[in-house]
Structure 1
Amino acid sequence: MTATSINGIDVVEDQPAQSPLTRPGVHVVFDKIRHLLLADGSEWYGCALCDYTSQNKNSILPHLKAHAPKKAPSSKAGKAITAVRPNRAPSSAPSSRRTPSRRADGGLASLTLGELVTRAQQTDQLREQRDAARAELKEALRQGNGWKSQVTELRAQVEHWKQRASVAERQLARVGRLVGASA
């Protein structure tokens, strides 16, 4: 729900804002801060959750706290931590900072949490499909090996019967010569 115009000037490009953690080979972006390019060529930054905009990227980050759910500390220790660090949540709260990916191409670092969850689910589905295909292949190989042994056995039987037929033909020829000679 980022702003579509600022001070009457239309936004022509909207993309995730680059994090200061970005360095050569590692591309890190904010998922809730947008980098906006206006029709007049000026660059602005905006909140991805509302229409708040500023020319200073650093002013968007504190604004995001307005979208965080208000939650009182649940324990005595949590109250003590909040008293010592009033601007921070208790240490058990998940960090809102993004960490850079170990991949050099920055592929995973540029994804939002939702996209990462989707990819994880797709990975699980692909693993299940791979395991099913492996099981089918194993069964086919087992059946193939069964057929292979049956073919080998049948070939041995054919060779055995060929030898018996050859012996029978020789004996029949001998008998035919004996009968023909005696007649």
Structure 2
Amino acid sequence: MTDAPLQVGAQVRAHRTARGWSMRELARRAGVSQPFITKLERGDQLPSIPTLYDLAAALEVAPSDLLPTVGDSAPSTGLAMPGERGASQIRLLAGGPGRNLHVYELRLPPGGGDEEFFTHPGEEVAVVLEGSVRCLRRSRRAVTMAAGDALTLDPAVPHRWRNEATAPARVLLVCDDLTHGA
């Protein structure tokens, strides 16, 4: 998906200009820098998943509305999204605008994981494909999962993923974005 950054940038620009906002205004509302918005709209950079959700919230659209369609009618290796400070890698394997179901692969190196807690709409199911991970949930008990384990999450509860083991871990995340059709 070599043109994915251009597609994401075009979607962000279209939603921003439809609201009559400057890049500076979108940056302020999303909590990012104006130079980041410039790079994003030019197709020079992709947002991390947390930043994608911040942009979507600021623009009042579903996060998937800012992404290209992935895995539709042809096999795909997915869209690699930047991780937080290189601590994790995430790929959108299937989903996109108008899709309610989104499938992500999260790769966590030993000691890696999300820097901040994260929330999003819909439902989420996590399946550990290899290794072991901890799902840390604000105001709830942390859950440790091993390969083959599955967990249904309430993604409205702030959560983050950590690999506290000495081996890499892979997690399949299936998210249902209930903001479509709402």
Same fold (TM over 0.5): no
Higher helix share: 1
Larger Rg, first or second structure (1 or 2): 1
TM-score by length of 1: 0.20
Q: RCO higher in 1 or 2 (8 Å CA, sep ≥ 6)?
A: 2
TM-score by length of 2: 0.20
Higher strand share: 2
